[in-house]
Amino acid sequence: DGGCSGGCGFWGLSAEPPFCPLTSAGWFRRLLQKPKQSSIHASSSSHSTTSHSLSSSPSSFSSSSSAWSSSSSSSTSTAQPSRPAPVDISSSSSARWAKSYDVCICHSEVDLEFVEELVSYLESQPQSLRCFLQLRDSVAGSAVMTELCEAVQNSHCWVMLITPSFLQDPWCRYQMHQALAEAPMANGRTIPVLKDIDRKDYPRELRNLYYIYVALKENSFRQIRDTVLRYLEELCRSSTSGMQ
């Protein structure tokens, strides 16, 4: 039949027996459906693999997160700094007693009233800090230069009360230079205290040292006390560890 031969001629199969167009259409449909099924299967397989990968990912993340948490917890517990053991700076074996004074107050005579209040505060502390006050503790008849040098050498710390009068007093500057020569490193022994001067007038020789600025008298006295005690505690702690 013409319909059949026309269909067969389209496929280049005229040498073979004729066949029904319906059968040809069914075969053609199956031919077209095969790659679709294969594609669907591959897509399904790929989706399954991806799903498996995604479903296993949270587990992996959870494990990683748990490990990080454990590591973080471990590092936190080991990173906590230990506080230094308390030191009794007043014990009979304390390195504090190696010098006659705990602190020498370097000041101008114009600032004597403020200095006397500071000395009274420091000496009334439970630690009974020993202060060198030039007009009170200098030996009568001795040379001023000798007294100033010995005051520096016989004291653990030196408070420099830097005021306009201090900057204009050659003896104050001399004692400041003696203290810096005794301890050129910033190790807490030299304690600059600024009062009634601008920061721009802070002595150039002391600019590698932090200073205490007198705004409220009580607060500055407390800061000076704490600084002296901190140095004495560190001195005694180092001395004790060196003997062990």
What tokens does 221 get?
Answer: 């006295």
> End-to-end CA distance of the chain, in Å?
119
pLDDT tens, residue by residue, 148-181: 999 999 999 999 999 999 999 999 999 999 999 9
Query: Helix 217-243 crosses helix 112-123 at what angle (to 10 degrees)?
Result: 50
What tokens does 52 get?
Answer: 């498996």
Rounded Cα distance, 161 and 159, in Å: 6
pLDDT of 105 reads 97
Within 10 angstroms of residue 202's Cβ, the number of other Cβ atoms is: 17
Domain ranges of the chain: 2-78, 99-243
pLDDT of 79 reads 56
pLDDT tens, residue by residue, 6-19: 444 444 444 444 44
CATH number of 99-243: 3.40.50.10140
Contact 189, 156 (CB under 8 A): yes
Within 10 angstroms of residue 175's Cβ, the number of other Cβ atoms is: 25
Mean per-residue pLDDT of the chain: 77
Residues ≥6 apart with Cβ < 8 Å to 200: none
Q: What's the rounded mean pLDDT across residues 95-108?
A: 96
Confidence of residue 225 (pLDDT cuts 50, 70, 90): very high
pLDDT of 81 reads 58
Rounded Cα distance, 150 and 182, in Å: 11
What percentage of residues in the chain have a pLDDT greater than 90?
50
Of 104, 237, 73, which Cα lies nearest the Cα of 176? 104
pLDDT of 168 reads 96
Half-sphere exposure of 91 (CA within 13 A, CB side): 12
pTM, two decimals, is 0.64
Rounded Cα distance, 26 and 94, in Å: 109
pLDDT reading at 83 higher than 80: no
Q: What's the rounded mean pLDDT across residues 30-44?
A: 48
Rounded Cα distance, 147 and 104, in Å: 12
Confidence of residue 55 (pLDDT cuts 50, 70, 90): very low
What tokens does 34 get?
Answer: 């095969």
**SS3 call for 189:** coil
